[in-house]
Amino acid sequence: MRGIILVLGDQLTPTLSSLRAGDRVCDVVLMAEVVAEATYVRHHKKKIALVFAAMRHFAAELRVDGWRVDYVALGDPAKSGSLRDEVARAIVRHGATQIIVTEPGEWRLMEDMAQWPVTKLLPDNRFLADRHGFAAWAEKRKDLRMEHFYRLMRRKTGLLMEGDQPAGGKWNFDRDNRSPPPGALALPEPLRFEPDAVTCDVLQLVSRYFPDHFGDLKPFGFAVTRADAEVAFAHFLRHGLHDFGHYQDAMLSDHRFLCHSVTSVYLNLGLLDPLAMCRAVEAEWRAGRVPLNSAEGFIRQIIGWREFVRGIYWWREASYVRSNALNAHRPLPDFYWNADTTMHCVHACVTQTREEAYAHHIQRLMITGNFALLAGIDPHVLHEWYLAVYADAYEWVELPNTLGMSQFADGGLLASKPYAASGAYIHRMSDYCDSCDYDVKAREGEKACPFNLLYWHFVGRHADRLQGNSRMARVVSIWRGFAGERQAQIKRDAERFLLFLDCAPTDRYNG
């Protein structure tokens, strides 16, 4: 029996379940660059280049390992526009009798593959939590919280455990990981890699086929091989991990990455192994080279949040994308694409996103996500923006983070409170406000920070819903304690700003 092993662009792992189930003698590995996968949202140019270049290098790795690889490049004149058509052509080309594929990371592909003939779908063995097991666990919970799941994962993996107790006597050191931006600390930079000939060819291809997509294509410095991704992670272990915990929530205009590893880009492609990464981080702590709060904070993001949001994604299935508990329907402002805003924090984050295809989690959650939440932007439209613009964004990880954590669109299924904040939070955790045309300390008037105006407007319009939330009840009480005229002024200022936002391509409001 001759089979086709289909390897997708984010499945670049030699121990992938479909490869482990295959036979180098009989089977052919199919990899294909298809327009549909690059355009179902208009992905950042750098993301497309990263995926295609990494695919081409992985195909070469498989050939060295003895596999026969049928690689369909985007420039192939015989190519089709969809994955389904490429598989159908390959079946004829190779006389195959079955298709073997590891489950994809998106519902749309899973549903499509279910209709393909003679297709064998295998579980994705690159995750630590089985998605069906997660669903069974979730169904039994009254309150679905990541912290509970995270403790199960710590026990399952043995990471940062002393017997049956957590190292340091606590499961979570998040309170130690909220320091404002550092002063004179020498901040590391993530490693960048010079494009080789294969990657240069891909850059030319992306420039030719996707000229109108968002983002800067060059300079391009991502790792595109497993070896270079491992070098990038080792660099982070030596230079970034020590201070990662303290400053993981901080933001600086001139230091875009601070102590972040930027390895989610490689992890979500399949170039790095999540458990191996966590064990390497734990080893740094046990060797006394990094503090516990940094090791725990990094490990929690991988075996906690990353696994948790994937579980939510598959458990709730396709209905989750339609969640809109706060009834938000405002269009996405143009400045999410062109950075043409006088809010310096938003301008800085969108500019960084355009140039790097990357922003760290607090920039996403508390700047672009926070503004969208406060302004009532349609969560589905925001989801498509995040999916398009970030190199590490794949729907299984991005959608729950956007709709659940960032926008509270699922009504609190994933997060225990809306992540809404005024300008005071941004001022405390960044230097963005120092260069802003708005006054972060002003709560009223045309020069008031829009985050201040919109924060109390958000609390006011959702007060009835939020008063039952234990983490928001005090804020609602403060709002209801404002004098009637103050509430009215806040509403007038916020609604004037929002009206201008709806009518103009930027927020350049002049009163």
Q: Looking at residue 188, what DSSP letter applies? A: -
Instruction: Give per-residue pLDDT as tens, 433-481.
Output: 999 999 999 988 889 999 999 999 999 999 999 999 999 999 999 999 9
CATH of the domain at 245: 1.25.40.80
pLDDT at 1: 64
Domain membership of residue 267 as a residue range: 131-188+240-315
Please answer whether residues 195 and 220 qualify as being in contact, where contact means their C-beta atoms are separated by less than 8 angstroms.
Answer: yes
Same domain, 263 and 137: yes
CATH of the domain at 498: 1.10.579.10
Strand 119-122 to 68-72 pairing:
unpaired
Strand 165-166 to 161-162 pairing:
antiparallel
CATH of the domain at 43: 3.40.50.620
Give the end of a domain, one of 71, 104, 122. 122
What is the SS3 assignment for 102? strand
pLDDT at 110: 95
On whether residue 220 sits in a domain, the answer given is no
Same domain, 246 and 288: yes
Instruction: Give per-residue pLDDT as tens, 303-355.
Output: 999 999 999 999 998 889 999 999 999 999 999 999 999 999 999 999 999 99
Same domain, 472 and 352: yes
Same domain, 145 and 90: no
Give the end of a domain, one of 122, 139, 166. 122
| pLDDT band for position 509 (cuts 50, 70, 90) | very low
> Is residue 380's pLDDT more than 90?
yes
pLDDT at 264: 98
Same domain, 484 and 351: yes
Same domain, 115 and 140: no
On whether residue 442 sits in a domain, the answer given is yes
On whether residue 510 sits in a domain, the answer given is no
What are the residues facing 430 on neighbouring strands? 251
On whether residue 383 sits in a domain, the answer given is yes
What are the residues facing 28 on neighbouring strands? 4, 68
Same domain, 157 and 292: yes
Instruction: Give per-residue pLDDT as tens, 138-167.
Output: 999 888 899 999 999 999 999 999 999 999
Instruction: Give per-residue pLDDT as tens, 409-426.
Output: 999 999 999 999 999 999
Question: What predicted TM-score, i.e. pTM, was given to this entire model?
Answer: 0.95
Instruction: Give per-residue pLDDT as tens, 247-288.
Output: 999 999 999 999 999 999 999 999 999 999 999 999 999 999
Same domain, 250 and 361: no
Q: Which residues contact 112 (CB under 8 A, 6 or more apart)?
A: 83, 84
Same domain, 135 and 85: no
On whether residue 321 sits in a domain, the answer given is no
On whether residue 323 sits in a domain, the answer given is no
> Is residue 507's pLDDT more than 60?
no
**Weakest mean pLDDT among 19-33, 163-177, 192-206:** 163-177
Q: Which residues contact 146 (CB under 8 A, 6 or more apart)?
A: 304, 305, 308, 414
Same domain, 343 and 480: yes
Please answer whether residues 10 and 34 qualify as being in contact, where contact means their C-beta atoms are separated by less than 8 angstroms.
Answer: no
On whether residue 36 sits in a domain, the answer given is yes
Same domain, 373 and 441: yes
Q: How many domains does the chain have?
A: 3
> Is residue 511's pLDDT more than 50?
no
pLDDT at 80: 66
On whether residue 328 sits in a domain, the answer given is no
pLDDT at 184: 59
| Average pLDDT score over the chain | 94
Same domain, 106 and 162: no
Give the end of a domain, one of 122, 154, 178. 122
Tokens of 335: 């400045």
> Is residue 500's pLDDT more than 90?
no
Range 282-290 contact pairs with CB under 8 angstroms and sequence separation of 24 or more: 282/159, 282/160, 284/237, 284/241, 285/160, 285/167, 289/242, 290/241, 290/242
